[in-house]
Amino acid sequence: MKPSPTYDITRSYEANYQEGPFLKEKPPARQIRKKVKFLGFDVNSRLGIPAGPLLNSRWIIAYAELGFDLLVYKTVRTAATPSHPDPNCMFLQWKGPLTEKDFGKRLIASMESPSSVEEISITNSFGMPSRDPKIWQEDIGRAKGGIGDGQLLIVSVVGTPGEKDLAEDYARAARLAAEAGAPVVEINLSCPNVVTGEGSVYTDPVFSSEISRRVKQAIGSVPLIIKIGYISDPSRLEKVVAANAPHVDAISGLNTLSFEVVNPDGTQALPGKGRLRSGVCGAAIRSCAMTQAKRIVDLKQKEKYDFEIVGVGGVMTSAHVREFLGVGVDAVMTATGAMWDPFLAYRYWQEEAGR
């Protein structure tokens, strides 16, 4: 499949926020056979898009029309926060899966796109920018009102370190999202593209569970998802899952892999302090993502946890959606795949209708 990007990586985050998504056409209407359950909601499918590509209500509505049914509003904060400088995305010159033996390597980036969506791996570094809460709260209302029957809006939030209590800031952000009408709240505990510490709390069982506990208290009956990154040590993953299980309704992951990324001449690829290391997404991370999804599924079965599991990472084709569902996750989300192949959901629907 030839890439047809909806996000223009040659332009700034602000330009994409204001003018995107860049869609050439819409798919034909689909026929819904029957709904399925996710977090207690009746939804058309278990396929969606994680926090990242859906920058505002216009992006949410466009991708809802494209057939993605679980739609995560890009991570927001309790205060306006600018994006890192562009470029924010670059393609990686890497073939095949990244495995743990590759974790110490430096990856090479360029602006030259692979010829096939299945081969796309990227590095991205935005720093979780956010509008002022008043702006994003109003926009959440537009997003919620603009999607169709059987589609679910999820709002991703993050706390910001500083003089304030980080866990309390997570709770405040989640409360603001719930007050804006978010049917589901996700807290982003994993982002390698910030330099102030809030992106690595998922590795700490004690602190991550304190955040999820306080957030759940703040939002009450609104379902809570936590987004985590890759944890290579199975025993640590088990501790993180066990610590958070009492407070959450779902666990989503993974949210990129962290690597040092350079230009072909060895210089830092993404400009700015603290950006030598950035998040890696796309085809290369699918192996790690599936490994972690399977580990969480096994933990859930072993300990009889009642949370749901969202598989994320390297989903580039409809076959990849089925592979993730095959390991026992409750939902699957695609970011890079959906950005460069906006018809991915439509093809998945077509194939499922013929099965």
Task: Check if the beta carbon of residue 247 is closer than 8 Å to that of residue 224.
Answer: yes
> What is the number of residues in the chain?
355
Query: What is the per-residue burial (b if ≥16 Cβ within 10 Å, else e) of 246-277?
Result: ebbbbbbbbbbbbbebbeeeeebbbeeeebbb
Is the Cα torsion angle 53, 54, 60, 64 positive or negative in sign?
A: positive
Of 89, 191, 281, 288, the catalytic one is 191
For tokens 């099965």, name the residue. 355
Task: Check if the beta carbon of residue 224 is closer than 8 Å to that of residue 216.
Answer: yes
Beta pairing class for 250-253 and 224-227: parallel
SS3 state at 280: strand
Say how far apart CA 145 and CA 282 lie, in whole Å: 30
SS3 state at 335: coil
Distances (CA, A) of 162 to 152, 165, 167, 198, 334: 33, 8, 11, 10, 32
CB atoms within 10 A of CB 15: 12
Report the half-sphere exposure of 199 (CA within 13 A, side-chain side): 20
Query: H-type helices in the chain, by residue range?
Result: 13-19, 57-65, 133-146, 166-179, 205-219, 234-244, 286-303, 318-326, 336-340, 344-353
Say how far apart CA 333 and CA 106 lie, in whole Å: 27
Distances (CA, A) of 86 to 89, 126, 312: 8, 8, 25
Catalytic: 191?
A: yes
Phi/psi for 268 (5° steps) reads -60, 130
Give me the active site residues, please: 191
